[in-house]
């Protein structure tokens, strides 16, 4: 984070780590209640940040310089995340490999995400699902990269749960699309990762 702060200072861009935010700021920036924001404090680490100030045209330069120092920064739903050498796609590929090896069979994978930092994960699975933002819009980077991605009808946990249940029902042959039913015939296991 020090290197990102140095780059931000040179460009006159203000960044703030999630771990530096108060419970009230977390609640305000995430839409959670202060009580729920307090629960989120346990999950805080130095990897999520927000860009508060600076010429918007400088943000891409800040991101590029961060990536040039080995600190790739990705846009999430509400915050920016620096990932180092890890991202959700790498985590997903490790999990898929583990389950395939443990179960000795092909597995049908489902992933749900709402922003560009989910893109590497969404590209790896059999059934990617895009969750809308609170305003109902969909992330442009994801829709550009995966134009035919399945899209949830509602944002947040409700959209996530309904979409996952529909995908699982389709995979089990009780509805959904033909591709999901065909995949069910080829595999005996289902694995989903948010």
pLDDT computed for residue 4 by the predictor:
73
Domain ranges within the chain, ordered by starting residue: 2-82, 88-193
Torsion of CA 82, 75, 48, 62, to 10 degrees: 60
Indicate the fold that domain 2-82 takes in CATH. Answer: 3.30.980
Helix axes 59-68, 2-11, angle to 10 degrees: 140
CB atoms within 10 A of CB 172: 14
Distance CA 152, CA 161 (A): 9
Note the pLDDT of residue 44.
42
Q: What is the mean pLDDT of each run of 10 residues along the chain (194 residues)?
A: 75 74 76 59 50 57 73 66 73 91 90 90 95 93 95 92 90 48 44 49
Residue 187 vs residues 82, 107, 131, 143, 183: alpha-carbon distances, Å: 35, 5, 26, 28, 6
Helix (H, G, I), strand (E, B) or coil at 45: coil
pLDDT on residue 43: 47
pLDDT of 194 reads 46
Tokens 């931000």, residue? Answer: 8
Look up the pTM and report it.
Answer: 0.62
């Amino acid at each position: 984070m020090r290197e990102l702060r140095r780059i931000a200072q040179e460009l006159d861009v203000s960044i703030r780590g999630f771990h530096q935010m108060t419970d009230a700021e977390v609640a305000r920036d995430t839409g959670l209640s202060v009580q729920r924001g307090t629960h989120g404090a346990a999950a805080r680490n130095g990897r999520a940040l927000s860009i508060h100030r600076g010429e918007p045209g400088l943000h891409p330069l800040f991101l590029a310089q961060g990536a040039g120092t080995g600190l790739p920064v990705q846009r999430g739903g509400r915050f920016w995340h620096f990932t180092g050498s890890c991202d959700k796609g790498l985590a997903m590929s490790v999990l898929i490999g583990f389950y395939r090896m443990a179960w000795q069979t092909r597995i049908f994978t489902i992933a749900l995400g709402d922003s560009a930092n989910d893109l590497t994960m969404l590209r790896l699975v059999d059934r990617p699902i895009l969750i809308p933002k609170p305003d109902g819009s969909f992330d442009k980077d994801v829709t550009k990269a995966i134009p035919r991605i399945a899209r949830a009808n509602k944002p947040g946990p409700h959209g996530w749960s309904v979409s996952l249940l529909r995908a699982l029902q389709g995979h089990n042959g009780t509805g959904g699309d033909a591709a999901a039913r065909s995949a069910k015939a080829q595999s005996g296991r289902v694995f989903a990762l948010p």
